Amino acid sequence: MTADTVVGTGLVRHGGRKFSDYLIFNTDHKVIGIQYLVLAFVFFLFGGALAGLIRAQLATPDAQLLTGSSYNVTLTLHGTVMIFLWIIPAFVGAANYVVPLMIGANDMAFPRLNAVSFWLLVPGGLLMLVSFAVGGAESGWTAYPPLSVTTPIGQTLWALALQFIGFSSIFGAINFLVTIFNLRAPGMGLTQMPLLAWAVAATSIIILLGTPVLSGALLMLILQRWLGAQFFTPAGGGNPLLWQNLFWFYSHPAVYIMILPGFGIISEVLPIFARKPIFGYKLIAFSSMAIAVFGFLVWAHHMFTSGMDPFLRVPFMVTSMIIAVPTGVKIFSWLATIWAGKLRFTTSMMFGLAFISMFVIGGLSGIFLASVPIDIHVQDTYFVVAHLHYVLFGGSVMSIFAGLYLWFPKITGRMLDERLGRLHFWLTFMGFNLTFFPQHLAGLQGMPRRVYTYPPELWALNLLSSIGAFLMAIAVLPFLYNALRSLVAGKVAGPNPWRAFGLEWTVSSPPPVHNFPTPPVVEGDPYGYGERPLPGTTGVAAPAPGMAGGE
Amino acid sequence: MSHPTNHRPAGSNVPVFDNTGKMAAIIIGVTAVVAGSVMGAANPFLSNATSSQGAQIDTLFSLFVGIATAIFIIVQGFLLFSIVRFARAPEDEEDGVPLRGNTKLEVFWTAVPALIVVILSVLSYRVLADIERPHPDQMVVEVTGRQYAWEFYYPDYDLKTAELHIPLGRQVLLKITSADVNHAFWVPQMRIKKDAVGGKITTVNITATAPGVYPIVCAELCGAGHAVMRSQVVVEAEPTFQIWVQAQLGAKQRAAAMPPDPKTLGRQLYNQYGCNACHKLADAAAVGVVGPALDGIGSRAADIVPGQSAEEYIRTAIIRPMDFITPNYPPVMPGDYAQRMSQADLEALVQYLLEQK
Ligand SMILES: [Cu+2]
Ligand SMILES: [Cu+2]
């Protein structure tokens, strides 16, 4: 089922043959994947610049760079951009590019809908920038009313922007589910699917169940702001906690929208560079699905101090603790995957290993937060800020980079420079820990989140954070330089530079417009290291040993 | 690099679980237990809590620290060991051992974490039930958060204050609400936090265990002045507390009986409306640093906004603070004084500030 739109004419195109094909409504999943990735990366730089401003303000207790509303606008935009315009779309972009190739499909199930999803993200992103230009939203990415109904117009544009992004996400999820369940190459049963496909399927289920609730809540917020509806304000019979329930019903699962694809990427990276099959395939696949279901039963852990029903805190505490189990299972399975392997420390692998190491810290601090009595102290403090960055940067962003270094050769046909890659990795890794580890302590010692000034006792910890942030900012430079230079001057990659299993490595790099000139042959799951010969590069038949893998 | 073959009989030279592996597992395990116990016992992350509820939370926290440390060391330990031990030799093109799973191991590492989190949940529940159990002779204080100040009302004494005083050792029930947006009442040293939500009363118990003065922090983003929405809780022995109450009541009665002289009234209003939290003013013994110091405001007010007299400037600064933002200061002065102050209070305060030459 390919979209044989007339190629190269008018405003609808299919395939990325020339530069302008990437700037237009294009129905090729590979073009769309790149469109997503590039747009998301631009927003990453923007969100990072905002983070830089925040850390500059907080480098000393009483700085005057950003105070009051302007500080609040900055942190709101930073959070919103990083979540909705960087991490989520970056994963959608990566999955868009590789999942159809990995399952042997020629495109996504609905190529035009796929393009629509991307082109909904663009006005969403633009509106977000416009909201900033007119003063911005200033109630945090969580936008709790009543504050979010009293703030200026920027908040309305913020909500409208998220509506666009939400629909983009919903359409994308439908597309991924249909693609993964209907378009697999003949012979690829569910248990031969790459784990990334499982992860994306689980993510899509979460999006389908959760995002409509966010859309509804945003609509209510917009109605309250425009038409004076009183959903969230007690004076008119509304309830501020209603928003919190609706928002977190989406936004806790959204954490998994932001991490499950990362789990999927790590499950691809580790086997390739450990030269071993993934350990515990079924349990990993199953735990993604378990998370997709359980993820909807924990949201009120964000509301333990909100005055919610006191008894209900207990079941929510138990579910929030239990959801750590499927995550723990994955971590142990990954450790077993590298055990007795033949590890190759490519940059992709280093980001992959760092993911395990950092994510586990975020997971452990999550258990603290799940415990109601401990949460009473640490809720809404820098401890939470540290926790969420260990999950979303230490986890999600590390996995995005692991995936970028893995698939860059597939996408561009060129290798990235490994030395620059290592520089990027080490600066990121050190900067990240320096930035976020001290924040646990600042939170425990009394620093609430979202403040532009703090008591002088907390200065040392904050200064460390700010120095770390500076390192992280510098870390981007070698990556940018590397990516741009390698595009033109990188070593030619060939179809399978990593000698990897997986159907995406059986086609040329970059792949032909319609992916598989001849239908691919599936010999098993893509983790046959040490078990069977690598398939050839044509996708027709298993080659004689030695044909595959040209570095 | 050439790959003569990409596949060899696997695992020929990597023993899956040889003696080195076993040793490593034992060392990692022992280190995890030792480090977990030490960290749990020492809990270097928190200084002593100053409430009995906080002390219980800290004990629980220490247990979590111990367990988290142990898990942390297990994961990082195996990770580091694998990185060192299973690094590929430069010319080694073989694959690793094709291990696809091990049911016993997988059941083990599903069941053990599940057991741990269930135990942690039970222990957490017990602490929760304990810290929220009401004591029969609780004292009630009503707390109201508003942009950007806290207000405390003692129904037993019909007394309103801008800082919280509580007696040592007696359980205090705080009934918290908000006059506007959401806030959160947090005393970090006491580990007590509860949101202030409009139209709703939330409750929390505190039993102070150490005399002293501890900051009260707003933990829920509430607008431009969120960062400076602070007050303090003063813990004093019961007799001292009673003396304080009587002094406050006396001051209140005197004020009601005969109108105080303008200066005393001015000082009182200045503190009552929380100006002292943000503006330094020697005459009122105020030390706030959020806004400009108001010492001498009476002599410079006329020269700030062209066309405004000193009196007009000060009045506008109070009731419409957004009209003119003093350079180099954040625009966080509360905007609702026009609604909260009686005309008489406003004029008295303006006159008082005009006298600050
Ligand atoms: Cu959550
Ligand atoms: Cu507040």
CA nearest to B79 within chain A: A335
Interface contact A349, partner B, CB < 8 A: no
Residues in B 151-170 with any Cβ partner in A closer than 8 A: none
A–B CB contacts, 8 A cutoff, strictly below:
303
Alpha carbons A53 and A55: distance in angstroms, whole number = 5
Q: Please give the structure tokens belonging to residue B151.
A: 């207000």
- Contacts B70 to A, Cβ<8 Å: none
A376: nearest Cα among B190, B123, B210: B190
From the CA of A209, how many Å to the nearest CA of chain B? 26
Mean pLDDT throughout A9-34? 86
Tokens of A263: 């789990």
Euclidean distance between CA atoms B253 and B273, whole angstroms: 18
Residues A188-225 pLDDT 10s: 999 999 999 999 999 999 999 999 999 999 999 999 88
Strands A25-26 and A12-13: parallel
* pLDDT surpasses 70 at B2: no
Question: What pLDDT is stored for residue B14 in this prediction?
Answer: 56
Search chain B and give the residue with CA nearest A304: B194
Q: Does A446 sit within 8 Å of B189, measured CB to CB?
A: yes
Q: What is the pLDDT of residue B255?
A: 75
Query: Residues near A136 by Cβ (< 8 Å), separated by ≥ 6?
Result: A73, A74, A76, A77, A154, A158
8 Å CB contact between B314 and B232:
no
Which of B182, B191, B333 would you mutate first to test chain A, the one with the most A CBs within 10 A?
B182
Fold of A26-506: Cytochrome C Oxidase; Chain A (1.20.210)
pLDDT value at position A9? 54
Among B6, B71, B218, beta carbon nearest to A545: B6
Contact A288, A199 (CB under 8 A): yes
Q: How far is CA A504 from CA A98, A101, A456, A515, B267, in A?
A: 7, 5, 54, 9, 76
Is some CB atom of chain B closer than 8 A to the CB atom of A511? no
**Predicted confidence band of residue A11 (pLDDT cuts 50, 70, 90):** low
Interface test with B, best of A329, A376, A444 (most B CBs within 10 A): A376
Instruction: Pick from B20, B92, B99, B173 the residue to mutate for testing the A interface (most A CBs within 10 Å).
Output: B99
B11 part of contact set with chain A, CB < 8 Å = yes
- Ligand in closest contact with the CA of A295: 1
Contact criterion met (CB < 8 Å) for B191 and A380: no
Q: How many residues does chain B have?
A: 357
d(Cα A90, Cα A397) in Å, to the nearest integer?
9
pLDDT (0 to 100) of residue A13: 83
Identify the residue with better confidence: A388 or B95: A388
State how far the Cα of A533 lies from the Cα of A279, in Å rounded to an integer: 19
Spans of all domains in chain B: 19-85+103-132, 139-254, 259-354
Is residue A530 within 8 Å of residue A276, measured between CB atoms?
A: yes
| Cα A63 to ligand 2 centroid, rounded to whole Å | 21
Q: Cβ of B95 and A342 within 8 Å?
A: yes
Residue B5 has a pLDDT of: 41
Nearest residue to A450 via CA among B5, B262, B217, B242: B217
* C-alpha atoms less than 13 angstroms from C-alpha of B156 in its C-beta half-sphere: 11
A299 CA from centroid of ligand 1 (Å): 5
pLDDT tens, B112-171? 999 999 999 999 999 999 999 999 889 999 999 988 889 999 999 999 888 899 999 999
Residue B287 has pLDDT above 80, yes or no: no
Ligand showing the shortest atom-to-Cα distance for residue B145: 2
pLDDT band at A162 (very low <50, low <70, confident <90, very high): very high
In this prediction, residue B225 has a pLDDT band, given cuts at 50, 70 and 90, of confident
- pLDDT at A543 (0 to 100): 33
Nearest to A322 among B96, B114, B219 (CB): B114
User: Does residue B299 have a pLDDT over 60?
Assistant: yes
- Kindly identify the ligand whose nearest atom is closest to the C-alpha of B197: 2
Contacts of A509 (CB under 8 A, 6+ apart): A409, A410, A411, A412, A413, A493, A494, A495, A497
Amino acid at A343: L
Tell me, yes or no, if A281 comes closer than 8 A to chain B by beta carbon: yes
Q: Which numbered ligand comes closest to the C-alpha of A256?
A: 1
Architecture of domain B139-254: Sandwich (2.60)
pLDDT at B274: 78
In this predicted structure, the answer to whether residue A435 has a pLDDT above a threshold of 50 is yes
The confidence band for B342, taking pLDDT boundaries of 50, 70 and 90, is confident
A538 pLDDT higher than 50: no
3-state secondary structure of B142: strand
The mean per-residue pLDDT over the stretch A85-93 comes to 97
Q: Which two tokens stand for residue B286?
A: 């105020």
pLDDT of A10 reads: 60
Residue in chain A lying closest to B20 (CA) = A340
Residues of B whose CB is below 8 A from A527 = 100
Average pLDDT over chain A, rounded to whole?
A: 91
The answer to whether A546 contacts B64, with C-beta atoms less than 8 Å apart, is: no
| CATH number, domain B259-354 | 1.10.760.10
